[in-house]
Amino acid sequence: MAMRVAVIGEGGQAEAHVAWYRQAGLEVLPVAPAASADLAEADLYHLCGDLGERAAVVGAVLRRRRVALLLSGAVVARAADAERLARAVVRRRGRAALVGGWRFVPAFARLRELVSGGILGAIRSVRLEVRVPVDELAATRPAALDLGWWLAGDGAAEAQSSGPANTCFQAGTAVVDVTVCTGAPGGTAQWSVALVAELGEAVGSASFVASWPGRPGGPQSLQVTLGGRTRPLAVPAADPCGGELGAVLAREAAGLPWLAVCGAERLARLAALGGAADVKVHGELSGPG
């Protein structure tokens, strides 16, 4: 029997997810946010796009115990006290992840391999700059924080400073500096990373639209400097968001934990790093279920 996915949202992003899931052979239940109170049972719930008053939608999903929930950056940015959401998911023995494909951009995945494999030695600093259209600013910020922390390694993260466009924190041995601003050329987000490490440096860049499956990413580049020698590394083209969803579905079908995604507990920490106090809190997120 095919896995059933409820895609909750309206607009182009929700439509793209419905089309992608159907092409993957799943049973898809498109749900308008206004109809979420009568939400049918599904194996996986995906909240995406412009959901309006998102807190009620999230609350309706969380009332299903052991829920499997995927969230776009737009949902986290505008609906939510992310720390409260994370606690609610854990309390109900569910799973949740912030998704959008940034960890599945080949240039960034290769950077992560260099870090986790110790090729560069201890990471000293990670500088990440993302230029996006103005309407994508809020949704991109949690994704950018996750990517910066992920590329720094697995050390505990401690906030240093946070403002409207820039967030700085310590993650293990690295200082992570994340800037999200407007000015995307051609209207497509531009992501640029620079790593400075004990044994060398690495820089990578990519152009892609997070949280839109079925769209191949744009130009990428990756360059590494070791022992005073600089060389480019080849990276393949990919559909980052589609690749991420495919990985989640494969693990879900096998009854295994999701890998390479930003889980609920990490999302709570990202909210603290990014200054969650300025995000409106909705009590429905942790209401009785």
What's the pLDDT score for residue 289? Answer: 25
Closest CA relative to residue 140, chosen from 218, 214, 208, 59 = 208
The residue length of the chain stands at 289
Give the DSSP letter string of 40-108: PP-SEEEE-S--SSHHHHHHHHHTSTT-EEEE-HHHHHHH--HHHHHHHHHHTT-EEEE-SSGGGSHHH
Single pTM value for the model = 0.90
Mean pLDDT, to the nearest integer, of 50-59?
68
Name residues whose C-beta falls within 8 Å of residue 3's C-beta, 6 or more positions apart in sequence: 26, 27, 43, 44, 249, 252, 253
What's the pLDDT score for residue 201? Answer: 98
Judge whether 44 and 3 are in contact, CB under 8 Å: yes
Mind listing the pLDDT tens digit for each residue in 146-194?
A: 999 999 998 899 999 888 899 999 999 999 999 999 988 877 899 999 9
Return the amino acid letter for 274: G
pLDDT of 46 above 90: yes
Comparing 20-24, 46-50, 124-128, 233-237, the range with the smallest average pLDDT is: 46-50
Mean pLDDT, to the nearest integer, of 73-82?
64
What's the pLDDT score for residue 37? Answer: 72
47's tokens? 């909240």
What's the pLDDT score for residue 281? Answer: 26
